[in-house]
């Protein structure tokens, strides 16, 4: 599974980053690379069986406790 994930991410990186480099979109390349590395890290953690927190709980905490919003 890990080899499959790395292969797919490598193919995506080759296709997408080549276009950004040719057009000299440096800022877009930095943003893309950052999001790409986060996605790769999360995918590898999931394939190793690491339990990750749900983003729903984080957004609920943000809405309820920080912004004091209620969605009833």
Structure tokens at 8: 């797919």
pLDDT of res. 72: 62
Whose tokens are 């790769």? That residue is 40
**What SS3 string covers the chain?**
CHHHHHHHHHHHHHHHHHHHHHCCCHHHHHHHHHHHHHHHHHHHHHHCCCCCCCHHHHHHHHHHHHCCCCCC
For the chain, 72 residues long, the average pLDDT of each consecutive 10-residue run is 95 93 93 95 94 83 79 63
- pTM comes to 0.70
What's the gap between Cα 36 and its chain centre? 6
């Amino acid at each position: 599974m890990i080899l499959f994930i790395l292969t797919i991410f490598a193919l995506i990186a080759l296709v997408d980053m080549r276009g950004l480099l040719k057009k000299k979109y440096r800022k877009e390349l930095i943003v893309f690379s950052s999001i790409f590395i986060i996605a790769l890290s999360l995918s590898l953690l999931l394939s190793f069986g690491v339990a990750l927190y749900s983003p729903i709980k984080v957004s609920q905490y943000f809405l309820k406790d920080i912004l004091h919003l209620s969605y009833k």
